[in-house]
Copies of this chain bind each other. A is one copy, B any other.
Amino acid sequence: MDTSNWDSLVVGGTILTMEPGSEPIPDGAIAIADGRIAAVGLAEDLLEHAPTGQVVTAGGCLILPGLVNTHSHLAMTLLRGLADDLPLMEWLENHIWPAEKTHMNREAVRLGTELAVAEQLLAGITTTTDMYFFADEVASVLAEAGMRGVIAESLIDFATPRCKTPEEMMEKQRELAQHYRKHPLITPSIAAHAPYTVSANNLVKEAELAEELGVTLQIHLSETRWEVAKLMEEKGRSPVAYLADLGVLSERTVAAHCVHVSPEDIEILVDFEVGVAHNPVSNLKLASGVAPIPTMVEAGVKLGLGTDGAASNNTLDLLRDMQLTSLLHKGVLGDPTVLPARTMIEMATIGGARVLGLDAEIGTLTEGKQADMVCLSVDGPHATPVFDPWSHLVYAARSSDVRHVLVRGKLVVGNRTLNTLDQERIESQAWDFARRLKR
């Protein structure tokens, strides 16, 4: 074992590597060299080679891969709770879109993204995904804050706060991809809003652009009954089949929602190796429905969890959403064995990594992968006792239990404190924004 280049060691705690079939490693340690995992083992073995650099003590913690958020609109944290308990179109047309049009300029996108990054890192999310406007601003916030992200400027057939035309949006997408081609944290991506807001012509162009740039293509897909009915009426087939026939689907596709998918749709998703971002809270809150997640797991669809934007969630908290997802499908299907705890943690880690095409780099605590991890405290009455770490994480743990978070070996959250962002300044500016918006 070459230990000369180790620069950090995370020591103590029970390690859940999330490798297939792996058992928890009690009293474990993880060595880090140049942002990557150099060794995973017992603390007593690795401590012999303690580095002179950073030592992170995680005694009594559960240590797991950083959580992966596969779908969000980060800057919408600024609209958290602006409008709730409303029908989708009233919510969008009378509240969200007007607020975005008037207030979501470049500066607001920066601020809202900062707020989202702060919230997510403190909740153990180390990789996030964004489709919104001013993607260059979003990417620069994440890069500065030391968070990993799959970032896209979103294309839609009408003007956005940033761009007047789809052509202009494509240009911004191209620029971002070129700028972040080899960045250690930012994975550029592109996004087309949805099959019902982007023309067939532009959808095809986007798929070609994703191929040319070698990036993922994010899209909202089969989110509502209304969308499915509209596509059936206008195109004579389901949204999934429509995209497949256009040649838009591939292993590059990150499809958000997929609530209303038929068995034939699911077959298509498997055949084209499409990644699906499941957004349980948003789907319930906007009453879109309940996605057939257990069926998709069974069929072998690549599945990850997404928070969606804070305007429809209202928190970016995957620990909470893991519990909700598992409970929801048990109750709705009448089967308490579906989506057991370990499956949920896989979905929130390596599953999400697969959806984003990053599973060679993140998603498990494996030698050679990026050192992205969460150390979660197991204390407090709500966390006592623990008979099984998987069950604990899904059914009892809270994001306030997150003690340390490392991304690429860097301690971005240490002892529950954000090291890379000025949390007080961000919160204060977010309140100012809300006051302006309410005027």
Identify the A interface with B (CB < 8 A): 77-78, 80-88, 91, 115-116, 118-119, 122-123, 225, 281, 283-290, 313-317, 320, 323-324, 327-328, 330-337, 340-341, 379-382, 384-388, 391-392, 395-396, 398-400, 423, 426-427, 430-431, 433-434, 438
Contacts and interface: CB of A to CB of B under 8 A. Distances in A.
A340 B434 contact: no
Contact of A381 (B86, B386, B427, B433): B427
Given A81-B392, A86-B337, A315-B396, A123 B426 contact: no
Contacts of A78: 385
Contacts of A386: 80-81, 434
Contact of A382 (B85, B123, B328): B123
Contacts of A289: 331, 334
Given A80-B384, A81-B387, A287-B334, 4 more contacts: A81-B386, A284-B330, A287-B333, A381-B426
Contact of A396 (B80, B87, B334, B433): B80
B115 A384 contact: yes
16 contacts: A77-B381, A80-B385, A81-B388, A82-B387, A84-B391, A84-B395, A85-B341, A91-B336, A115-B381, A284-B330, A328-B328, A379-B427, A381-B427, A382-B399, A384-B430, A387-B434
B77 A287 contact: no
A78 B380 CA distance: 13
A223 to B, nearest CB: 13
Contact of A430 (B285, B331, B334, B385): B385
Contacts of A287: 330-331, 333-336
A222 to B, nearest CB: 15
Contacts of A284: 327-328, 330-331
Contacts of A83: 387
B382 A331 contact: no
Q: Which 9 A-B pairs have the closest CB atoms?
A: A284-B331, A385-B434, A400-B400, A119-B381, A85-B340, A284-B327, A287-B336, A118-B381, A314-B395
Stoichiometry (number of copies): 2
B88 A336 contact: yes
A39 to B, nearest CB: 30
A396 B391 CA distance: 23
B316 A382 contact: yes
Contact of A340 (B84, B283, B400, B426): B84
Contacts of A286: 330, 336
B82 A433 contact: no
Contact of A331 (B77, B123, B225, B288): B288
Most chain B beta carbons < 10 A, residue from A78, A85, A225, A285: A85
Contacts of A290: 331-332
A388 B83 CA distance: 9
A324 B438 CA distance: 28
Nearest to A418: B381
Contacts of A341: 84-85
Contact of A400 (B332, B333, B398, B427): B398
B119 A382 contact: yes
Contacts of A396: 80-81, 314-315
Nearest to A88: B336
A336 B288 CA distance: 9
Nearest to A434: B385
A436 to B, nearest CB: 11
A397 B273 CA distance: 37
